[in-house]
């Protein structure tokens, strides 16, 4: 499990934003290729971050970490 940093979270948000841009292209042009590109972007981003060592526990530790004394 790799520790999740804020810059990694920004990269993940960037992947989702790029998929949203592709979907907006689809809604303006109605060409189905843009849906495929949006799905491919999200899937590629998922596997990239998975291969980098991020897991569900990385997100839980980032968002729900509480200092315990």
Containing structural domain, residue 20: 6-64
69 in any annotated domain: no
Question: Could you tell me if residue 1 is inside a domain?
Answer: no
Does some domain include residue 23? yes
How many structural domains comprise the chain?
A: 1
Q: Is residue 24 part of a domain?
A: yes
pLDDT given for residue 66 in this prediction: 58
Q: Which CA distances in Å does 10 have to 13, 36, 53, 58, 67?
A: 5, 23, 16, 15, 24
pLDDT band at 1 (very low <50, low <70, confident <90, very high): low
Closest of 15, 21, 49, 45 to residue 35, by C-alpha: 21
Segment 42-69, tens digit of pLDDT? 999 889 888 888 888 887 887 777 555 4
The per-residue pLDDT for range 8-45, each reduced to its tens digit, is 888 889 999 999 999 999 999 999 999 999 999 999 98
Asked if residue 13 belongs to a domain, the reply is yes
What does the buried/exposed string (b/e) look like for 28-66 if buried means 16 or more CB atoms within 10 Å of the residue's CB? eeeeeebeebbeebeeebeeebeeeebeeebeeeeeeee
């Amino acid at each position: 499990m790799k520790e999740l940093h804020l810059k990694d979270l920004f990269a993940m948000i960037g992947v989702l934003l790029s998929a949203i841009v592709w979907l907006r292209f689809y809604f303006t042009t109605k060409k189905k290729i843009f849906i495929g590109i949006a799905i491919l972007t999200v899937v590629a981003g998922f596997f990239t971050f998975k291969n980098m060592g991020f897991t569900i526990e990385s997100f839980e530790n980032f968002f729900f970490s509480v200092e315990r004394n």
